[in-house]
Amino acid sequence: MCLKGVEILDHTIVVVGTQWGDEGKGKITDYLALKADMVVRSQGGNNAGHTIRFNQQKFALHLIPSGIFNSGTKNVMANGMVINPRALMEEFEMLRSKGITSFQLYISDRAQVIMPYHLEMDELLESLKGEESIGTTKKGIGPAYSDKTNRIGIRIGDLLKPDRLKIALDNALAFVNPVMKTFGRTEIDSTEVFNEYIEYGKKLKPYITDTSLLIQDALDYHQKILFEGAQGTMLCIEHGTYPYVTSSSPTAASVPLSCGISPQSINEVVGVTKAYTTRVGEGAFPTEFENEISKKIREVGHEYGTTTQRPRRIGWLDTVILRHARRINGVTGLSIMLLDVLSGLEEIKICTSYELEGKIIHHVPGHYEDFLKCKPIYITYPGWKEDISNVHSFDELPKNCQNYLYAIEEFTGIKVTIISVGPDRDQTVTLKKYFE
Ligand code: IMP
């Protein structure tokens, strides 16, 4: 019997978006990645966009994990991802042009490949839906995931096996081409696509491996592993605002499945939230508002999509969805982003619950029609005038700003562990030390 000491390990951290994506996960991931031995991207594809700034340079990553800038860090693109090799080649080129040539990258042989027809299908489906369209990124994400579950998807490993690739491609096109024909689109030429993709296989071969084994090795050696989130909980195919969601689950719960490791492997879940809320694409958004204040937030916060450049919709912070995210993900600490953007506002609102058909509710309703009807119930807090972008500790923050953060903790039940007051790495206040 040994009760001498229970080792509390902080070796694995999941960074998860608690809103509709674009919470600023890229900055926090980059920040934590500095200390990580391995950074893993588990799901999604180049619908994501992570902006990272350091040394006066700005990098936009869509597929490659954020640890790519540290040559000592292993970067993994795991089995749950959908990977567009054309987009990956562009990202390699971007890194090369910025002088990033020494890096460690591993790509799962089980990850799905986004094929050219997935982009066409995405666009076609969106146009057929008309006013009901989702506002996807048109990167082929949904069709790639549906081919996966229809078992006509092409895996990264298939790119290394010409005979298999031919069969898999013909299987997929037997379904895809009649659809193309029906809707007056050009049918996909199997040989052309084969020739292009077999070349990608050759280029990607040095990176392709069984990443589940690789991550397990890192776990066995107690290495520090960062699971980098993409999108956000409200875009989850299971627990988001369905059908206005992405086609995968960007939650902490999906990480073990999407990486091929055990659920017990996760120690910490950092939930990332903006100090307000944004959304791109269509779908319900209870705290959304459009006036001079939202315009100011959009301009000061540069609220335009990294992937599609669309102006983001703006709303007040919604703690109902943050509690939803806490429950779904088991969030252990909250990282508040873009707090500096709220400086100078007279008043700031926090949504604490909704009114739905005359009743007060404290949760996100399951049916989208009900969510659309939810009216936010707010508590209003006085704002602060001071510029906080050079603050390095909680104590230096203006009193009203501190009170705003205390209110967030109170209504979410989650400790604030990181505060971001600007885009640069050193504009970060940490209240808990991670990976130490
Ligand atoms: P899809 O993932 O391209 O199919 O798009 C589905 C929905 O998710 C759309 O509303 C997109 O705008 C949204 N979405 C997908 N990825 C991201 C992201 O990384 N950030 C924010 N929104 C996203």
Q: Residue 425: how many CB atoms within 10 A of its CB?
A: 15
At 309 the pLDDT is 86
Query: What's the mean per-residue pLDDT of the chain?
Result: 95
Whether 316 maps to a domain, the answer reads: yes
The answer to whether the CB of 330 falls within 8 A of the CB of 269 is: yes
- Give the separation between CA 270 and CA 15, rounded to whole angstroms: 5
pLDDT at 5 over 60: no
At 436 the pLDDT is 84
pLDDT at 110 over 90: yes
Considering the domain architecture, whether residues 166 and 98 belong to the same structural domain is answered as no
**Residue of 11, 22, 158, 318 marked active site:** 22
Which tens digits make up the pLDDT trace of 309-326? 889 999 999 999 999 999
Task: Determine if ligand 1 sits within 6 Å of the CB of residue 141.
Answer: yes
Considering the domain architecture, whether residues 265 and 185 belong to the same structural domain is answered as no
Phi, psi of 183 (to 5 degrees): -100, 20
Task: Determine if ligand 1 sits within 6 Å of the CB of residue 29.
Answer: no
Single out the residue of 89, 83, 92 nearest to residue 158, CA to CA.
Answer: 83
- Give the separation between CA 309 and CA 274, rounded to whole angstroms: 18
Structural Rg of the chain based on CA atoms: 22
Considering the domain architecture, whether residues 93 and 135 belong to the same structural domain is answered as no
Which of residues 182, 208, 234 is at a domain's end? Answer: 208
At 60 the pLDDT is 87
Task: Determine if ligand 1 sits within 6 Å of the CB of residue 134.
Answer: yes
- What is the Å distance from ligand 1's center to 383 Cα? 31
Considering the domain architecture, whether residues 132 and 47 belong to the same structural domain is answered as no
- Give the separation between CA 425 and CA 29, rounded to whole angstroms: 11
pLDDT at 45 over 90: yes
| Active-site annotation holds for 340 | no
Task: Determine if ligand 1 sits within 6 Å of the CB of residue 246.
Answer: yes
Considering the domain architecture, whether residues 237 and 192 belong to the same structural domain is answered as no
Residue closest via CA to ligand 1's atom 22 equals 21
Q: Which two tokens stand for residue 217?
A: 């090795």
Which of residues 208, 243, 278 is at a domain's end? Answer: 208
At 3 the pLDDT is 42
CA angle 163, 210, 12 (to 5 degrees): 155
Considering the domain architecture, whether residues 203 and 250 belong to the same structural domain is answered as no
Buried b (16+ CB within 10 A) or exposed e, 140-166: bbbbbbebbeeebbbbbbbbbeeeebe
Poorest-pLDDT segment among 7-16, 45-54, 284-293, 327-336: 7-16
Considering the domain architecture, whether residues 275 and 392 belong to the same structural domain is answered as yes
Single out the residue of 379, 395, 299 nearest to residue 344, CA to CA.
Answer: 299
- What is the Å distance from ligand 1's center to 307 Cα? 9
Whether 350 maps to a domain, the answer reads: yes
Which of residues 208, 233, 258 is at a domain's end? Answer: 208
- What is the Å distance from ligand 1's center to 278 Cα? 12
At 58 the pLDDT is 84
The answer to whether the CB of 193 falls within 8 A of the CB of 166 is: no
The pLDDT-based confidence of 57 (bands split at 50, 70, 90) is confident
Domain residue limits at 179:
112-208
- Give the separation between CA 193 and CA 422, rounded to whole angstroms: 44
Residue closest via CA to ligand 1's atom 12 equals 281
Instruction: Report long-range pairs for 52-59 (Cβ below 8 Å, ≥24 apart).
Output: 52/26, 52/27, 53/27, 53/423, 53/424, 53/425, 54/30, 54/424, 54/425, 57/98, 59/94, 59/98
pLDDT at 260 over 50: yes
Considering the domain architecture, whether residues 259 and 402 belong to the same structural domain is answered as yes
The pLDDT-based confidence of 6 (bands split at 50, 70, 90) is very low
Whether 163 maps to a domain, the answer reads: yes
Single out the residue of 322, 307, 205, 215 nearest to residue 258, CA to CA.
Answer: 215
The pLDDT-based confidence of 4 (bands split at 50, 70, 90) is very low
| Active-site annotation holds for 367 | no
Which tens digits make up the pLDDT trace of 116-169? 999 999 999 999 999 999 999 999 999 999 999 999 999 999 999 999 999 999
At 9 the pLDDT is 56
Strand bridging mode 57-61 / 82-83: unpaired
- Give the separation between CA 178 and CA 381, rounded to whole angstroms: 58
The answer to whether the CB of 25 falls within 8 A of the CB of 51 is: no
Mean pLDDT on 324-350: 98
Residue closest via CA to ligand 1's atom 16 equals 47
Whether 3 maps to a domain, the answer reads: no
Whole-prediction pTM value?
Answer: 0.94
Instruction: Give the chain's largest Cα–Cα span.
Output: 72
At 246 the pLDDT is 97
Task: Determine if ligand 1 sits within 6 Å of the CB of residue 248.
Answer: no
Mean pLDDT on 198-224: 98
At 8 the pLDDT is 47
Q: Looking at residue 338, which CATH number applies to its domain?
A: 3.90.170.10
Number of domains the chain contains: 2
At 147 the pLDDT is 97
Whether 436 maps to a domain, the answer reads: no
Residue closest via CA to ligand 1's atom 8 equals 246
**Residue 295 neighbours by CB under 8 Å, 6+ apart:** none
Q: Looking at residue 116, which CATH number applies to its domain?
A: 1.10.300.10
